[in-house]
A and B are shown apart, each in its own frame.
Chain A
Amino acid sequence: MIAAVQTSPEVFEQTFLLVRARILEIAATLDRLDRAEAAESVRSDPRFRQIQQGLEILLSDGFHRAAQIQEIFSDQYDPTWMKKYLTTGERPALSPSVPH
């Protein structure tokens, strides 16, 4: 880690209007979704739940909100994936043309 050069109040002064603008953009987008027809179908879309979870993380404390939100929007990792790929029988054999 390298130290941030700016103090927190300096960062806040520089980013306040930007953060305000981005919150307003999200709020207006959510309003637009609710205003449009068939809003219920969007609320049942799993991606909408991801957005709700992301917004909940914004209200939490800590240093890793961005990484946590990234993980919400990520597929599950299966640590046994390699074994499964090897045992399905669908996996093509390694090429004989390339030394292994």
Chain B
Amino acid sequence: MYYIDPHIHMVSRVTDDYERIARMGCVAVSEPAFWAGFDRGSVDGFRDYFRQLTEFEPKRAGWSGIQHYTWLCINAKEAENVELSREVIKMIPEFINKPGVLGIGEIGLNKNTKNESIIFQEHVQLAMQLDELILIHTPHLQDKLKGTRMIIDMLMSDRRVQPERVLIDHVEEHTVGLAKEEGFWCAMTLYPITKCTPSRAADIIEAYGDDRIMVNSAGDWGPSNPIAVPDFIQELRRRGHPESKIKKIVYDNPLEFFRQCKRFEFTPPDTLSDNSEVIEPQKV
């Protein structure tokens, strides 16, 4: 089955992972900007990162026949540095109209602090000004419920925000209802220890339905599994769910959300001709 991984940090993965996910049926990935594992020291550090996301990663994904999309922001972990965050937000318009950019993300909260909240709101303001989609990171572990509610408070207090143009990510059993009830899209992240397992994600689908919801691997430089979405597909198959329902969650839903972006262009794999150009990696 073809699928889309709507949240995966491929800059942290090797080229072999592109090849592996392609062989598992992945036809497209979307890569939100995130924390590199250390706090970057300058706006130029982010400029180089945004170039990597918009120039090199699409090329590297293309070597395996995968379509690459991305999101731009300074992540919540680095938002404590308000001055740097504002420099980065000011720089985002330089890149926003590059091919493959889907919007602003993954913005959100980490430790639910004041500075994180203010930078979150300034990202939202930029998204509203530019009429962009938003992808939101919700906090980990004990911070998640409180942080998700704070995020929804901020979004709902801004009348310009259209919930159907916002994706709230990393939802679990205690937060999925909050996001869906307010009309937001949401996504479940399949992680080995934290966040969701494929079976819990399948339980959430059975409990909350398959509208406005998707699953991702959020593969990154930490413990994570870039082929977690196929594990989820297999879990639903094992339970006897029809292929059409599975496809809706792992393929149709991401496309429906992404298509709201004015720049979004996607070539369905079934329409690729036999003469499609194959771009080979450059020899080093």
Contact = CB atoms under 8 A, between A and B. Distances in A.
The judgment on whether A and B are partners is yes
Secondary structure type dominating chain A contacts: loop
Interface string B182-225: 00000000000000000010010111111000000000000000
A70 B149 contact: no
Contacts of B86: 95, 97-98
B243 to A, nearest CB: 12
A4 B208 CA distance: 11
B209 A91 contact: no
Interface in B104-129: 112, 114-115, 117-118, 121-122, 125-126, 129
Interface string A75-100: 11111011001001011101101111
Nearest to B154: A82
Contact of A74 (B114, B129, B142): B142
Nearest to A100: B125
B145 A71 contact: yes
Given A66-B173, A74-B144, A85-B114, A4 B206 contact: yes
Interface residues of A, number: 33
Given A1-B206, A4-B206, A70 B114 contact: no
Interface string A56-71: 0000000110110011
B174 A74 contact: yes
B contacts with A: majority SS: helix
A82 B240 contact: no
A11 to B, nearest CB: 8
B157 interface: yes
Contacts of A3: 206
Interface string B233-255: 00000111100010000000000
B48 interface: no
B89 A98 contact: yes
A6 interface: yes
B146 A77 contact: yes
B90 interface: yes
A36 interface: no
B143 interface: yes
Contact of A91 (B118, B154, B203, B206): B118
B112 to A, nearest CB: 8
B144 A81 contact: no
B94 interface: no
A42 to B, nearest CB: 18
B144 A98 contact: no
18 contacts: A1-B206, A1-B207, A2-B205, A2-B210, A2-B245, A4-B239, A70-B174, A74-B174, A75-B145, A76-B146, A77-B150, A88-B114, A91-B118, A92-B115, A92-B118, A94-B125, A98-B125, A99-B125
Given A4-B239, A75-B143, A90-B114, 4 more contacts: A2-B206, A74-B146, A82-B157, A97-B86
